[in-house]
Amino acid sequence: MSLAEFDITGQKVLVVGAGRGIGKGIALAFAEAGADVAIASLTEATVGKVAEEIRAMGRTALPVTGDATKTADMDRIASQVLSEFGHIDTLVTCVGDSIRKPVVKLPGTPDEGMTEDDWNHVVNINLTEAFQGCRAIGPHLLERGQGSVINISGWASFRGRPGYSAYDAAKAGVMR
């Protein structure tokens, strides 16, 4: 990335959900633009690989693990990153998953309806993780009087689809 307007050398970024997919791509893009990046995901294996890629770019990478839907885990992640980096300039929340099921069993179809556990799982992963990230990092950003929060959502937040009620509602919640 050679454009000067994308140079954020020295900024400190936490990307939650950076172990794979869109979150990994975002973490790598921030590193390419010059940021030091904390990579948070559920497993050490995924954050370790992304950290290696970031270090290969000559940037600092801090791999941290935890469940972004849990208060204790997000508090620990925030504490680790702030202890290592001193501050955070940008928080990106980018965790997502879906279960394709109708809310109720539809007549004439083999699909069972969504259970309460299914619903809670999808809403927690797609909406609660954004809340937890903002709750854990927000006070730090407010105290510094600067910083950015980027909560990744998607086109599903604008248009519901059959079988994706929980996912679409959660992504809409992130946007609102």
Q: What is the CATH number of the domain that holds 78?
A: 3.40.50.720
Q: Which residues pair with 14 in a beta bridge?
A: 38, 91
> pLDDT digits over 37-72, tens only?
999 999 999 999 999 999 999 999 999 999 999 999
Q: Please check whether residue 156 lies inside any domain of the structure.
A: yes
Query: Span 132-154, mean pLDDT?
Result: 96
Angstrom distance (rounded) from CA 1 to CA 29: 8
Q: Please check whether residue 1 lies inside any domain of the structure.
A: no
- Residues with catalytic function: 167
Query: How much is the pLDDT for 98?
Result: 86
Q: Could you count the other beta carbons within 10 Å of the beta carbon of residue 17?
A: 28
Q: Please check whether residue 95 lies inside any domain of the structure.
A: yes
Paired tokens of 66: 């935890």
Q: Please check whether residue 79 lies inside any domain of the structure.
A: yes
One-letter amino acid of 88 = I
Structural domain boundaries enclosing 135: 7-175
Asked whether the beta carbons of 56 and 32 are under 8 A apart, the reply is: no
Residue 79 has pLDDT above 60, yes or no: yes
How many structural domains is the chain composed of?
Answer: 1
Angstrom distance (rounded) from CA 176 to CA 172: 6
Cα angle 64, 70, 75 (rounded to 5 degrees) comes to 55
Q: Please check whether residue 110 lies inside any domain of the structure.
A: yes
Question: CA Rg, the chain, in Å?
Answer: 17
Residue closest to 130 by CA, chosen among 102, 165, 155, 154: 154
Q: pTM of the full predicted structure? A: 0.91
Indicate the average pLDDT of the chain.
93
* CA pseudo-torsion sign 37, 40, 43, 44: positive
